[in-house]
């Protein structure tokens, strides 16, 4: 591949490839660039050929998500490809419609699957503490529907179910690894103490919940389906927007990077929607 084809992977987490510029808010490994995606991307206009973003957009409020899309469009070259992976609302609703009918008829054989479906629908939108209902469900002994959960959220589900940290199962995945984030946590604790002193426990709890929703990285501020994400991309200025499968892409040799599939080609997050778009 030509050296001029610079590739950018935003919000990479622990999944990165040395052929790409890998950026994350909280780098967990060496070689990943520390950058706050709420800020402009540290690249000049028309400098990137390919861009990949997976399960990132929904973690930003609407205005910030739009700004991130605008930044991706700015740094892409004309004809460059951006790949967007998000949880698929349509898929979750279709699953709900399949589950609810038999339950209402008295068939409770898939009641646990229904409970998980409700967690997929609402938990990351409404939770107010680390892990939310998802952590509590996954730490059940025994877990009643392990295979179903794996069919819904793939290897991420296996990692969460096998995590021994009761009640902090998701927090362990997003613990910050840079000193400034620890300073920020200490700062918030001090402010919370002052809020409690001035306004009482209820006011302090409201402050804690607000900080969690704003800073934890666990909240899904918005959930997309194919139509809503396509419209958002069009409004920003992307063209040639197409839905694709986890194992296909207009980015050359994309499967070799193992971002959306593992080394055997198995989809990492089966609950996902995949769209690709280009810059005019």
Average pLDDT over residues 99-109: 97
Residue 147 within any structural domain of the chain: yes
The reply to whether 147 and 106 lie within a common domain is: yes
What is the predicted pLDDT for the residue at 218?
Answer: 87
Residue 1 within any structural domain of the chain: no
Average pLDDT over residues 78-94: 97
The reply to whether 104 and 164 lie within a common domain is: yes
Q: Which pLDDT tens digit goes with each residue over 12-34?
A: 988 899 999 999 988 877 889 99
The reply to whether 19 and 67 lie within a common domain is: yes
Parent domain of 185: 178-215
pLDDT beyond 50 at 165: no
- Match 């362990």 to its residue by tokens: 172
pLDDT beyond 60 at 166: no
Q: What is the pTM of this model?
A: 0.87
- What is the residue-wise DSSP string for 173-186? HH---SHHHHHHHH
Number of domains in the chain: 3
Average pLDDT over residues 132-140: 90
CA 243, CA 252: separation in Å to the nearest integer?
Answer: 17
Task: Tell me the C-alpha to C-alpha distance, in Å, between residue 212 and each of 169, 175, 237.
Answer: 16, 13, 33
Residue 204 within any structural domain of the chain: yes
Residue 126 within any structural domain of the chain: yes
Residue 2 within any structural domain of the chain: no
């Amino acid at each position: 591949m030509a050296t001029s084809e610079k590739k950018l992977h935003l919000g990479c987490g622990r999944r990165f490839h040395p052929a790409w510029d890998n950026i994350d808010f909280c780098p967990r490994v060496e070689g990943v660039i520390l950058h706050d995606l709420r800020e402009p991307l540290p690249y000049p206009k028309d400098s990137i050929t390919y861009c990949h973003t997976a399960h990132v957009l929904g973690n930003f409020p609407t205005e910030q998500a739009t700004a991130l899309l605008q930044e991706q469009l700015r740094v892409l070259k004309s004809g460059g490809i951006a790949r967007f992976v998000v949880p698929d609302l349509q898929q979750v609703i279709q699953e709900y419609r399949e589950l609810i009918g038999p339950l209402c008829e008295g068939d409770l054989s898939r009641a646990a699957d229904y409970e998980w479906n409700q967690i997929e629908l609402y938990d990351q939108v409404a939770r107010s503490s680390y892990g939310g209902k998802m952590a509590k469900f996954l730490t059940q002994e025994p877990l009643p529907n392990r295979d179903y959960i794996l069919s819904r959220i793939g290897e991420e589900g296996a990692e969460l179910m096998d995590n021994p940290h009761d009640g902090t199962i998701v927090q362990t995945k997003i613990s910050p690894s840079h000193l400034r984030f620890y300073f920020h946590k200490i700062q918030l604790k001090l402010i919370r103490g002052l809020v409690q002193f001035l306004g009482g426990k209820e006011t302090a709890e409201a402050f804690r919940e607000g900080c969690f929703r704003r800073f934890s990285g666990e909240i899904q501020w918005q959930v997309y389906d194919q139509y809503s994400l396509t419209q958002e991309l069009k409004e920003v200025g992307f063209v040639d927007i197409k839905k694709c499968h986890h194992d296909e892409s207009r980015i050359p040799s994309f499967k070799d990077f193992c971002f959306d599939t593992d080394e055997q080609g198995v989809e990492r997050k089966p609950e996902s929607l995949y769209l690709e778009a280009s810059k005019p």
